[in-house]
Structure 1
Amino acid sequence: MNEQVRSKPLPGQYTTDYKAGQDNVQVLGMDIHNPVFTTSALAIITFIVLALMFPADAKTILEGARVWSTTTFDWLFMISGNIFVIFCISLILLPVGRIRLGGKTAKPDFSRMSWFSMLFAAGMGIGLMFWSVAEPVAYYTDWWGTPLSAAANTPEAASMAMGATMFHWGLHPWAIYGVVALALGFFTYNKGLPLTIRSAFFPLLGERTWGPIGHVIDIVAVLATIFGLATSLGLGASQASSGLNFLFGVENSISTQIAIIVVVTGIAIFSVMRGLDGGVKLLSNINMGIAAALLLFVIIAGSVTVFFGNFLGTLGSYAENILPLSNWIGREDEKFYTGWTVFYWAWWVSWSPFVGMFIARISRGRTVREFMTAVLLVPTLVSAVWMSAFGAQALDQVQGGIGQLSNGLGDVSLAMFHMLENLPLTQITSILAIVLVLVFFITSSDSGSLVIDSITAGGKVDAPTPQRIFWAVLQGLIAAVLLYGGGSEALKALQAGSIATGLPFTAILLLMCFSIYKGLKSEV
C-alpha cells in the first residue's frame, strides 16, 4: 500500500497552509507532533503512577466518572446511537454514495476479502470471542438484568437474549465506527488534510483546527485508544490464561498473564515493523481462516439445520426488538439498560477513534456507498452468523442442563471453553480458540499502534518505525504494569477511565456527522 498521502491536489480540496507533520520535532529517531505526543505521554505516565500508588482510589474515582456519565447522559448515548445508524444508512441510499474516497480514479489498495478481514479483526473480533457465549447466557439467566424485562429462563428470554446480543454487536456499534472512518477517509483522501481526528472538523473550525482545540481532540483520541487497547490486552490475557489453565493446568496467575502480554506485544512489534501489507493484513487473513474453521466446526457439531433455524430466529428477534431496545424513555429494565446497552455505547464510542482511523487507513478507493455497506451491513451479518452458532449453542446447553454453563455464569473468561467442552474434539477446538484470542489481540495492538502513531505524528502515515514500536511497547507495558502492581482493580480503573471518555467523544461524533454532510455536499 502507498502510505503517503497524495500531494497532488484533487478538485474540491480545502485551501490550507497546514501540512501533515508541520509542527513535528525529531526526538530519538521519532517524528513527533509535540503538543499531542508530549501531553499524551505525560498523561499516560501520570495515570500509571497514580493507579499503581492508589489502585482502589483510582478505581473508585474513575468508576464514579463512568457511572455518572452513563446514568446522567444515558439519553445522549441512546439518541446519538440512533442518529448514527440513520445517518449511515442515509449515505448508502443518497446520491453522495457515488463519491469515491480518493477521487474518481482512485483504486482500492486491498482486495475485498483482505479489507473485510482487517476491518472486522480490528473492530470486534476479540469481543466476539469473549462475549458470544457469555452474553446470551447472561441475559437468559438474569446474570445482570434481562432485556425488556423478559422473564428469565423462558423461551421468550432465549429469543430476547439472542436479539439483544445482536443489538449490541450489530448496526449501532458499526455505525459509530463508520462515522469516524468516513470522516477521516473523506477529509484525508478527498480534501487533502492530514490523517488525524482533528481534520474532520476543518469545515466547522477552519484554520483553528490546527490550534489548541485540535490538540485537545487528538489527545483525547490517543488516551481513549491506548487505554482501551491496554484494557483489552489485560482482560484478554486473563481469558487466554484461564483457557490454558482449563486445558493444561497452567497456573492462572499474574505471572502467566504478564507472560502472555509479553508474547503478544513481541509479535505485535514484529508485525508493526512489517507495515500494513506484511503485518496487519497477513495476521487478519490468518485470523479469518482460523475463525472460519472454528465457526464451521461449531455449526456442524451442533447440527447445520438447527444453526439455520437459530440464524433466522436471531435476525428475526433483532429486527423485532431493535426499536424497543433503542428507546430511552420509560425503560423498566433499567439494570439491563444502563448496565449493558449504555455501557456498550460508551465503550464503542471510546474505541471509535482507533477503529475508525484504521478503517479509513485501509479504505482508500472505495465509494461511500460501498464503504458504508461494508462497514455497516457485512460485519452485522457476520456477527449474526457467529452469535447464531456460538450463542445459540450455549443456550441449548443451558436449557438442556448440559455441562458447566447449565449452572449459570461463573468465570466469564471460561464461558467459551465451557461451551466447547461439550462438543467433540474439545482439546483441538479450545486450542484454536486460545490461538484466535491471541491473534486477535496482536492485530488489535498492531493496528492500534499504527493509528496512535499517525495521530501523534500530526497526521503523517509514514512516521519512523521506532515510533510505531514505541506505542506497541507502551500498550503492553501499561497492561503488564497495572496487572502486576494493582491487579484487576487497576485494570478496571483503566477500563472505567476509557469508557468515561465516551461522553465527550459522543459530542465529537455528532459534530462529525454535520462536518461530513458539509464536506460531501461540497464534493457534489
Structure 2
Amino acid sequence: MSNGEDTNNRTVLYVSAAIVLIFVAWGLFLPSAMSKVVNSVFAFLTTDFGWLYLLAVAVFLVVALGIACSRYGRIKLGKDDDKPEFTNLQWFAMLFGGGMGIGLVFWSVAEPMMHYLSPPIGQGGTPESMALAMRIVFFHWGIHAWVVFAIGGLALAYFQFRKGMPFLISSAFYPLIGEKVYGPIGKAIDVLSVFATVFGVATSLGLGSSQIATGLQYIWGIKSSPGTISIIIAIMTVIFTLATVSGLHKAMQMTANIKLWLSVGFMVFIFLFGGMVGILNNLIGTLGGYLQNFVGQTLWMGNLSWVGGWTIFYWAWWIAWAPFVGQFVARISKGRTIREFVFAVSLLPAGFSFVWLAIYGGAAFQMDKISHGAIQAAVNADYTTALFATLKQMPFYTLTGPLAIILIVASFIGAANSATFVLAMLTSGGNMNPDQKLRGFWGIAQGAMTIVLILVGGTAALKALQTASIAAAFPFMLIMLVMCYSIFKALREDENEVNNKVLNNGE
C-alpha cells in the first residue's frame, strides 16, 4: 500500500478517534453542560423526528423483504460459482448465536413487567396489559430489529463478496457516487458508521454493567452506584482489551462457549421451573397477537411520550448496531443467495428471541403471581434487578444467581471484543485482519465512552444511554435510507450485466 493510500485510510481513524476523545473529555470536565445537551437532544429528536425513525424501519422492512421476494433474490452474495462456506446447520447456529446478547438478558424480564405495570394504552396490572406487554416485547425484539441488520449485512456482503470492494459501509454507495467513495464523501459515511457503532455498543455495555452491579447488590449486598458501575466497566475493559491485543483466541472462544451453554441452560431451567404450560400458552398467544398487529404497530404513534422512550430508542439502537451485526452476518453468509440471506437473518434470530422472551417473560408473570407481587415490587424499586428477583422465586437460587452474573459478564466481553474488531476494521480501510494496537485503542475508547455516559447520566443513566443511541443513529439512519436505493440500483445493473452475457453467449 502506498503512503497516500495509507493516509487516506487513516483519515476515518483520525476523525473518528478525535470525535470520541472530544466526547470523553467533554463528559469528564463539563458533565453538567453535557447533561443539559443530552436532555435537549433527546427531546428534540424524539418529539420532532420520532416519526422518521418509525418510517425508516418500515422502509427497511419493505425493501429487504421486497428484494428477497423479487427476481433479485436469486443473486448470490459472491461470484456465481461461489459455494457457502458453512453448512446450513452451522450457518443457522451462528445466526442464532448472533441473536443472543446483553440486551436480551437485560430486558427479558424487566421490559415485560414495565409494560405490564405502565402500558402505553389502557390500565396497568390487568390480563389485557399482560398480553399487550408481551406483544410489545416481541415487536421490539423481533423481525423489525433483524431487518435493520439484514440491510446493513446485505450491503456489506454484496459489495465485498460480489463486487470485490472494501468491507466498508461506504462501498455500498459506489452505484451512486462512483470513485467518490474513496474520497471525502466516502470517508464521511464511514466516520458516521463508526460514530453510530461506538454509541450503540456503549449503550449495551452500559446496560450490562448496570445489571452486573445491581446483581452484586441483590445477591451479596455490594452497593450499586454510578461509581461501582464505572469500576466494573473499567475492569471489563481491561480484560477484553488485553484479550484482543494479546490475541487470546482460545480464551475468547471459551467465553463464547460459556455464553452459549449458559444461555441454553437458563432457557431450559426457567422453562422447567417457571411454569411450562403457562410459558407455551404465552408464546403461542403472543405470536398470534404480534402477527395480527404487525402492520399497525409498525407505524403506531398513539402515545408519543411512550413511543419516544421505548420504540424510537429501540429502532435507533438497532440502526446504531447495523454496521456491527451486519458485519457479522455478512462474513458468515458468503455464497448464499440474497433470498436465503434476508429470510434467514430476519426470521431465525427473531424466532429465537421470541422463544427466549416467552420463557423469561412468561416465567416472570407466573412467579410474580405465586409470590404475590415480588417481581413487580423489584421492578418498581430497580428494574435492573428483575432477572435476579425472578430467579430468586425458583429453586437453586444460590447457584443460578451467580451464574446469571457470569452469563452477563460473558455477554459483555463477547460483545465488546467483537465490537473492537469491527471498529478497527472500519477505521483501517476495511482490513479483515486489523492491527492489534488499533483494536486495543477501540477497546479502551469504548470503555471510556461508556463510563462517561454512566457518570453523566448518574441515576438517570438509562436516559443518557438512550439519547446516545438515538442521536448517533440519526445521521446513520439517513445514510441507510439512501443505501437502500443504492443497493436496488446495483442489483438492477447486476441483472442487466448477467442478461447481456447470456445474450452474447447465445450469439
TM-score, normalised to structure 1, is 0.87
Establish whether residue 500 from structure 1 lines up as the match of residue 482 from structure 2. no
Q: Please tell me the residue identity of whatever aligns with 1:240.
A: I
Report how far residue 60 of structure 1 moved: 1.7
Counterpart pick for 1:81 among 44, 57, 74: 57
Report how far residue 357 of structure 1 moved: 2.2
Distance 1:253 1:335, change over 3 A: closer
2:393 maps to 422
2:426 maps to 455
Instruction: Give the aligned length.
Output: 494
Tell which deviates more after alignment, 495-504 or 452-461.
Answer: 495-504
C-alpha separation in 2, matches of 1:229 and 1:104: 35
Establish whether residue 192 from structure 1 lines up as the match of residue 192 from structure 2. no
Deviations 1:46-75 (A, max 9, x none): 111111122122122123113212221222
Deviations 1:245-293 (A, max 9, x none): 2112233245543443244224423543577975766543432221011
Establish whether residue 65 from structure 1 lines up as the match of residue 41 from structure 2. yes
1:157 maps to 129
Distance 1:441 1:186, change over 3 A: same
Establish whether residue 40 from structure 1 lines up as the match of residue 11 from structure 2. no
Equivalent pair of 1:265/1:476 in contact (CA under 8 Å): yes
Deviations 1:138-195 (A, max 9, x none): 11111xxx24x13222211111111111000001111111101110111011101101
SS of equivalent residue, structure 1 residue 504: helix
Distance 1:361 1:166, change over 3 A: same
Structure 1: runs of 5+ lacking an equivalent? 1-18, 26-31
Counterpart pick for 2:312 among 330, 342, 359: 342
SS of equivalent residue, structure 2 residue 163: coil
SS of equivalent residue, structure 2 residue 293: helix
Counterpart pick for 1:244 among 213, 216, 223: 216
1:53-452 matches, within 5 Å, as 53-110=29-86, 115-116=91-92, 118-119=94-95, 125-142=101-118, 146-147=119-120, 149-254=121-226, 256-273=228-245, 278=250, 283-328=255-300, 331-400=301-370, 402-407=372-377, 408-452=379-423
C-alpha separation in 1, matches of 2:275 and 2:456: 46
Equivalent pair of 1:265/1:472 in contact (CA under 8 Å): yes
C-alpha separation in 2, matches of 1:251 and 1:427: 19
TM-score, normalised to structure 2, is 0.90
Distance 1:416 1:300, change over 3 A: same
Tell which deviates more after alignment, 128-137 or 227-236.
Answer: 227-236
Establish whether residue 479 from structure 1 lines up as the match of residue 450 from structure 2. yes
Distance 1:161 1:493, change over 3 A: closer
Establish whether residue 512 from structure 1 lines up as the match of residue 494 from structure 2. no
Equivalent pair of 2:69/2:339 in contact (CA under 8 Å): yes
C-alpha separation in 2, matches of 1:263 and 1:314: 40
Distance 1:78 1:294, change over 3 A: same
Distance 1:365 1:382, change over 3 A: same
SS of equivalent residue, structure 2 residue 334: coil
Equivalent pair of 2:160/2:167 in contact (CA under 8 Å): yes
By percentage of residues, which structure has more helix?
A: 2
Structure 2: runs of 5+ lacking an equivalent? 496-507
Q: Please tell me the residue identity of whatever aligns with 1:23.
A: E
Equivalent pair of 2:106/2:207 in contact (CA under 8 Å): no
C-alpha separation in 2, matches of 1:217 and 1:230: 20
Q: Please tell me the residue identity of whatever aligns with 1:394.
A: A
SS of equivalent residue, structure 2 residue 438: helix
C-alpha separation in 1, matches of 2:176 and 2:281: 49
Distance 1:71 1:485, change over 3 A: closer
Deviations 1:370-421 (A, max 9, x none): 2212210011111110111111121223445535223353212101111111
Distance 1:400 1:141, change over 3 A: farther
Distance 1:324 1:150, change over 3 A: farther
C-alpha separation in 2, matches of 1:208 and 1:243: 50
